[in-house]
Amino acid sequence: MRFGFHGLFYAHVARTYPHGRVLAAHLRHGASLCAIQDGRSVATTMGFTALDGLMMGTRSGAVDPGLVLHLIRERGLTPDAVAELLNERSGLLGVSGKASVAAPSSTVAIRIVPAEEEREVALSVAGLLSER
């Protein structure tokens, strides 16, 4: 079985947090989210191609298929021109003029805790829970 970089990251997160629910995010030039429950991926923003899912550095992310039809029929773009637009001139570049954003970390994993653990987690994060 082969994995891309995002898949390898999510496999690592699943091994690190084998129990409970986790929302993991890879947020850099390429971006995706993955919901993990008990060490198994249960949902992801990744689709058939890298164009699907979250907006990325130069890729559009998920778009209404009607937009593609509009660009071809009403704007006269060729399929190749639409592919270039969605893959190379959209995303963060298209909305901000910059293809990347400086970030201190490219990956995040959030463990979703049961309601009965929320108090302890909140106190621990705030540094108010004494070491036992």
Of the candidate ranges 40-49, 57-66, 67-76, 92-101, the one whose mean pLDDT is the lowest: 92-101
pTM summary value = 0.70
Mean pLDDT of the chain: 82
Q: What is the mean predicted confidence (pLDDT) over 65-90?
A: 95
DSSP helix/strand/coil, 126: coil
Q: What span, in angstroms and rounded, lies between the C-alpha atoms of 95 and 18?
A: 38
Does 97 score more than 70 pLDDT?
Answer: yes
Q: For helices 65-73 and 79-88, give the axis angle rounded to 10 degrees.
A: 130
Q: How far is CA 97 from CA 2, 57, 58, 94, 129, in A?
A: 34, 10, 10, 6, 45
pLDDT band at 75 (very low <50, low <70, confident <90, very high): very high
